[in-house]
Amino acid sequence: MRRIMINASLCDGCKNCSVACMQAHRTDKGTIYDLDLTNQENESRNHIVNDGKGGYKPIFCRHCDQPECVMSCMSGALYAIGAGQRSLMRLPAATRR
Ligand code: SF4
Ligand code: SF4
């Protein structure tokens, strides 16, 4: 089983992860380009909270074995580990801010 790890200091609040979760679990078929962000049935299962100090706090459910939220995070704030081994989803340090 994979685990989602969070480094909140790298989160820039882009919400790519929220949109990726919505697209992964939407009830109707379609692409990201016709995803209805106002449909409550498409609600994201993760949340990005403003910490009030200029940063963001990602809050995740850790439900999926292949989490689209993690794969959409370009900052390196999210990564997955599993079976005693780090996932390739984690970006190398040199590509992070
Ligand atoms: S683990 Fe799955 S359900 Fe949970 S926030 Fe990520 S994509 Fe959404
Ligand atoms: S966790 Fe990653 S994808 Fe989600 S808001 Fe933060 S930087 Fe963006």
What's the per-residue H, E or C state across 48-64?
A: EEECCCCCEEEECCCCC
Helix (H, G, I), strand (E, B) or coil at 48: strand
| Atom 6 of ligand 1, nearest CA residue | 69
Task: Name residue 48's beta-bridge partners.
Answer: 58
Strand ranges across the sheet with 2-6: 2-6, 78-82, 85-86
Task: Name residue 56's beta-bridge partners.
Answer: 50
Has residue 96 got a pLDDT over 60? no
pTM above 0.85, yes or no: no
| For the CA of 62, the nearest atom of ligand 1 | 1
Has residue 94 got a pLDDT over 90? no
pLDDT single digits (tens) 35-66 = 999 999 999 999 999 999 999 999 988 889 88
DSSP state of 9: G
